[in-house]
Amino acid sequence: MRSHILNETNWKSAKEIDFQLAVLPWGATEAHNLHLPYGTDNILAEQIAAESARLATGRGGKVIVLPGIPFGVNTGQPDVKLDMNLNPSTQMMILKDLITVLNRQGIHKLVILNAHGGNDFRQIIRELNLIFPEMFICQCNWFKIPGAELCFEDMGEHAGEVETSFMLYLAPELVLPLSEAGEGNARVFSITALNEGWAWAERQWTKVTQDTGIGNPTLATAEKGETFFKIITAKIGDFLYELSVLHRDEFYRDKP
C-alpha cells in the first residue's frame, strides 16, 4: 500500500494526512503504431505520476495521486478503430466535478499530469480559475521536459523511440517485437505556415501516418527508457514537492 496513491491507500491512512496537492494523471486510449498498446499514454501518465509523487513524498511533500483519466481528445482520429474521444467540453465538466470535491475538502492545489499531445487544458484552466478562485490548477506535460535529445536519436512525437523505450522499461510484456512495428513515417502540411507553427490546424491522423506512429521506434531500448524516466520523474518530483510545501502567497517573487 502506497499512501500517496489514492487507488491503493485507505481511509485509515488518508484521514491522518493533510494532503496539500492532488495529481491527476490524464492520458488517452489510442493506437500507438503497430507494436504498442492502446493504453500507452495511460501507463506513462500513471507511472510517471506515481514515481514523481513518491519522490516528493519522500522529501516531506503531502501529495496524493488520483486515479487516472484514460480517455483524451482524439477528435482528429475518428476513423482509427477504437481510438476513444473525450471532447474538451467533457474534460471541462470532469475537472469541474473533481475540483469541487478537492476544494470542499481543503486540497487547493491540483496538477494535471498530461501524457497525450491532443490534450490541452490551458483554456479550461483559465475558465476554472474564475469558478474556483481558492484553487491553484496547472497542467504538466511530461513530454515537454527538456533532455530527451541526450538519450534519444529520433524525437518522433508518437509511438517512436521515446515512448517505445519507456514502454520497454515499464511494461515490456505489452510491447510487440520491434520487427513488427511500422516505420512511423509522417507526412506534413503542404502549407508553410502550418508547418512553422504560427498557424495551427488539427491534423487528420490517417492522412499523416499509415501505421498511426510518428517517429521511428527501431532504436528504442529499455535502458534508454529507464534513464529518461529517472530524469523526468526527478524533475517532476521536485516540482510537486515545491508546489506542495509553498503557500499560495509564496508563488511569486521579484526577479533577481
- Among 155, 158, 151, smallest CA distance to 222 is for 151
* pTM, 2 dp: 0.96
Residue 42 vs residue 147, higher pLDDT:
42
- Which CA distances in Å does 226 have to 115, 152, 194, 201? 17, 12, 34, 34
Q: Which residues pair with 110 in a beta bridge?
A: 22, 137
Alpha-carbon gap, residue 70 to 138, rounded angstroms: 19
Q: Out of 3.40.1260.10, 1.10.8.60, 3.30.450.60, 3.40.50.10310, which CATH number does the structure's domain 11-250 have?
A: 3.40.50.10310
pLDDT at 23 over 90: yes
List, for residues 163-182, the tens digit of each pLDDT value: 999 999 999 999 999 999 99
Cell numbers linked to 224: 534508454
For position 256, what pLDDT does the model report?
Answer: 87
Q: What is the mean pLDDT of the chain?
A: 97
Q: Give residue-wise pLDDT tens across range 32-85.
A: 999 999 999 999 999 999 999 999 999 999 999 999 999 999 999 999 999 999
- Separation of alpha carbons 7 and 66, rounded Å: 7
What are the structural domain ranges in the chain? 11-250
